[in-house]
């Protein structure tokens, strides 16, 4: 894109403007709930748990919420490790806000390290030429290592410079770009969704992290998630708008989830 602020052009698309208005209304509803004024810490904690469950579900570990809540050992099979990784990432995301705007690539490296839960030469750095990628959900063409490096640098510069585009646009582009690139050997979806969370919190759209987009992405389903991502990868205005709309809808569903939690707390049922 040739403009100084390429994301702003996306924010000007009519369908995107509608998505922005819709997500703002949903976020305002949960933040305006009377329970939020007294028990926001509880809502944030519950949203983190539900967000992690949703992200893990998209990674192939679709566990019941109560199973995620009761478990303490996530070192067993692949599904358990995916849930554990999602929980660690959700906890870590809020600690990286101050670094994100200055050094987003450093944050992405840290997120990958947290997701992997182990240290070896491939963890915490973009994949190199010839290294495989384990990301079964996304089967789109895989950019080569040189393209990944260049586009990551471009994404980092975009974040550092900032944008006048609405927060949901920036969050969706960060999320979509990381999924399209799959820069790491594994855990790219988990990292992309954690990065989306960081943008939503740091932008001020969801400063208390009570609108877990991961809940909405999981509710909309894996097929819709991948179909929307294909729109992003196409690079067309319509495809990009569809992906942004999908992400906005996911945030709105996350806000609805936390509104329901507020209602339950108000009734004394949770």
Is residue 1 a contact partner of residue 9, using CB atoms and an 8 Å limit? yes
**pLDDT tens string 45-55:** 999 999 999 99
Please list the residues that pair with 134 across neighbouring strands: 186
Q: Is the pLDDT of residue 96 over 60?
A: yes
Which pLDDT value is given to residue 210? 98
If phi > 0 it is left, if psi is from -120 to 50 it is alpha, else beta; for residue 108 that is alpha
Q: For residues 191 and 66, what is the distance between their CA atoms, to the nearest angstrom?
A: 23
pLDDT, tens digit (0-9, with 9 covering 90-100), for 97-139: 999 999 999 999 999 999 999 888 889 999 999 999 998 889 8
> CA–CA separation, 252 vs 43, rounded Å?
16
Whole-structure pTM over 0.85, yes or no?
Answer: yes
Phi-psi region of 82 (alpha: psi -120 to 50; beta: other; left: phi over 0): alpha
Q: Quote the mean pLDDT of the chain.
A: 94
Say yes or no to pLDDT of 2 above 70.
Answer: no
Q: Which residue has the higher pLDDT, 4 or 238?
A: 238
pLDDT-based confidence at residue 1 (cuts at 50, 70, 90): very low
pLDDT at 23: 96
């Amino acid at each position: 894109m040739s403009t100084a602020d390429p994301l702003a052009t996306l924010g000007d698309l009519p369908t995107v403007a509608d998505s922005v208005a819709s997500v703002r209304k949903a976020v305002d509803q949960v933040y305006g709930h009377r329970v939020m004024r007294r028990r926001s810490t509880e809502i944030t904690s519950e949203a983190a748990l539900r967000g992690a469950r949703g992200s893990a579900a998209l990674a192939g570990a679709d566990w019941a919420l109560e199973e995620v809540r009761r478990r303490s050992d996530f070192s067993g099979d692949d599904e358990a490790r995916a849930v554990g990784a999602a929980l660690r990432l959700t906890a870590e995301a809020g600690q990286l806000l101050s670094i994100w705007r200055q050094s987003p690539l450093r944050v992405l490296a840290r997120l990958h390290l947290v997701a992997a839960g182990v240290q070896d030469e491939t963890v915490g750095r973009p994949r190199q030429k010839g290294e495989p990628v384990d990301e079964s959900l996304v089967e789109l063409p895989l950019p080569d290592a040189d393209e990944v490096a260049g586009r990551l640098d471009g994404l980092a510069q975009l974040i550092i410079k900032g944008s006048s585009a609405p927060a949901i646009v920036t969050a969706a582009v960060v999320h979509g770009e990381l999924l399209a690139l799959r820069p790491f050997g594994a855990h790219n979806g988990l990292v992309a969704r954690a990065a989306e969370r960081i943008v939503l919190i740091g932008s001020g759209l969801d400063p208390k992290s009570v609108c877990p987009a991961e809940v909405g992405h999981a509710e909309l389903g894996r097929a819709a998630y991948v179909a929307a991502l294909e729109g992003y990868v196409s690079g067309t205005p319509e495809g990009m708008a569809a992906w942004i709309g999908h992400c906005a809808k996911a945030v709105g569903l996350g806000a609805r989830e936390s509104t329901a939690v507020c209602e339950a707390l108000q009734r004394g049922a949770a």
